[in-house]
Structure 1
């Protein structure tokens, strides 16, 4: 028995909500991996970027400045989408924190030695008071509690 128009519309809304909330689960259910989706999005962004170059050059040749600006905006938008997709493709290839520190030889990197920050970690104080009160408190701490 086929679905009615109302049921199809409701199903599409549910699918869109699922994709927005959990894209990884949605891509798993769809059968495509995040890497494939990111690659597809990067290729499409590259094609749109080439179209943006054509529009930009067409605007420059014809002397219509607004067409050139539109081409630049198309290029900027597609570059943003494409770089985001490539960054997402790289992140989806990493399995976990151990994979991020793995050496290409297959040997892991052991973190140790000196801490990255030189100052010991102090918990942040609550931001009570005005900016000037906080500056004065810092000054008092630097001077060792002396009031001058």
Structure 2
């Protein structure tokens, strides 16, 4: 059942307010579809790799060199697709986005620079929590 015009408008407003309030979380939600696609490509390419390996062995057993070469080419192509999907991010379950190509870009502009990270991971998380509690207290 499709959404009514009012529901679609409310959903759009909610998405915009979420993106304005917590851009990192909104970016994570948008990236989940891409991660699912990369995971699906990796699984299909993995199956293709195994099929290519089977064709390679079958062509070798029957001494059909051309069939073994086709199996090898399928293996190479499937391996390439798996590596590309891995680099783009497979959604490993962690809440950290992939680094490098396709990952989020650092913000640009003349804002205040972020302080250097210091302390352990737990200390940084406690500081973030305290900061959020302080910000929510004024509401």
Give the structure-1-normalised TM-score. 0.43
Select the structure of larger CA radius of gyration: 1
Give the structure-2-normalised TM-score. 0.45
